[in-house]
Structure 1
């Protein structure tokens, strides 16, 4: 008998799809260049707001969205790789999946962070590029346009391959779970909070994060 458990609360699901769409759009506008860089800058601010929200939500969000659910000991990771799985491993992020989440968040934070200080001297200048030395701007620009970009693309590719593997080989519909929020598990587990109060808290946090991102972006005109 399978048990339907709410794993991903609505704020987490909205964050996930908004981040996916914004990241893809940000990559496309960077490749187009020219006037599209104006959109690239705006999308960068959206991604920054989303990342700030996720950092906060990782401490106050639903049970399975909290970072404490992602932290696993080396032994736990090794056991998982050996096939010694627990029900919890199939609920939220598995020990291996948790590492990919942290890597993706770190790569996105580095990409957006360096973008704030980047300046290609043609179409794009980050809002904080005029507040640091030229050496810092050069280093940030190199990371943002070269290594950071390729690292992010590699992680996105691995993420898509993992989703396809779980869907086609392991028969675990990860995409459906991120749409509905529910997973069918062999044992009952505590569900994530996902009520009106919970969602209002997420909205308040999102508004503060959006204001912070907008405030950083507005520094370009100061």
Structure 2
């Protein structure tokens, strides 16, 4: 008798609390990250790793430290303009910034548009990373280790600024970037294991699986040609600026 009771109970519980197939979320695949944004992301990651390694080794490889620094400078200039002209989810205007989107995200009430690209917390992380990378590049341009390496603009500014910039670049700036990169990698792992969101593959092929369809990013040949032109312009701008201090 008790066995029959358990069978009936399990049957009722499984049917009462089960989710009908018709109400299960149907995922849609949307192009979120355009090719120029993905290339920027991976190129920046490689350049930052190169900066870290060459800065740690020092000595004769510092020439490559400068080259990686100029590469990061170029990529940051490119990203600034691409944030205005790029695909929908790469634009600054689509970052869900502000107090309301942030609190909604923490409460689990974000809109689909606030989660399609960078979510509110991710947007803050992106801006922090880009800001401190820009600061690290700027201080590197005016740093002087008083041994054999000096930034191209170190002779054009005051000794006080050079001293401060060198100290920041070698200590707090480096530690801040290590902290931000660690947070970034930890967040990727957390979303993978706890939220079952594959952020790295999306930044590789550009597509994300979403519960609600949103507008896709433009990623056609004309937009890629425009990105190539913007990148070429960024290279020219950095080359010109660096040559001023040479």
Q: Same fold (TM over 0.5)?
A: yes
TM-fit CA distance, 1:217: 2.5
Partner of residue 155, structure 2: 130
Give the stretch that moved more between structures: 22-31 or 72-81. Answer: 72-81
**Aligned equivalents of 1:11 and 1:75: distance in 2?**
30
| 1:163 matched to 2:188 | yes
Once the two structures are superposed, residues 129-170 of structure 1 have per-residue CA deviations (whole angstroms, 9 ceiling, x without a partner) of 111111111111111111111111100000000001011111
Report the RMSD for the aligned CA atoms in angstroms: 1.0
**TM-score (normalised: structure 1):** 0.97
TM-fit CA distance, 1:220: 4.0
Partner of residue 13, structure 2: none
In 1, are the aligned partners of 2:142 and 2:153 still within 8 Å (CA)?
A: yes
In 1, are the aligned partners of 2:27 and 2:211 still within 8 Å (CA)?
A: yes
| 1:50 matched to 2:75 | yes
Between structure 1 and structure 2, the one with the greater Rg is 2
Point out 4+ residue stretches in structure 1 off by more than 3 angstroms: none
**Aligned equivalents of 2:173 and 2:219: distance in 1?**
35
Structure 2 residue corresponding to 1:13, chosen from 17, 30, 38? 38
**Aligned equivalents of 2:206 and 2:35: distance in 1?**
7
Q: How many residues end up aligned between the 2 structures?
A: 221
Partner of residue 119, structure 1: 144
* 1:49-128 matches, cutoff 5 A: 49-128=74-153
DSSP-derived class of the 1:88 partner: helix
Q: 1:35 to 1:220 in 2, by over 3 A?
A: farther
TM-fit CA distance, 1:87: 1.6
**Aligned equivalents of 1:70 and 1:128: distance in 2?**
34
Partner of residue 17, structure 2: none
**TM-score (normalised: structure 2):** 0.88
In 2, are the aligned partners of 1:48 and 1:112 still within 8 Å (CA)?
A: yes
| 1:141 matched to 2:166 | yes
- Structure 2's unaligned 5+ residue stretches are 1-25
**Aligned equivalents of 1:123 and 1:104: distance in 2?**
29
Partner of residue 196, structure 1: 221
**Aligned equivalents of 2:115 and 2:201: distance in 1?**
14
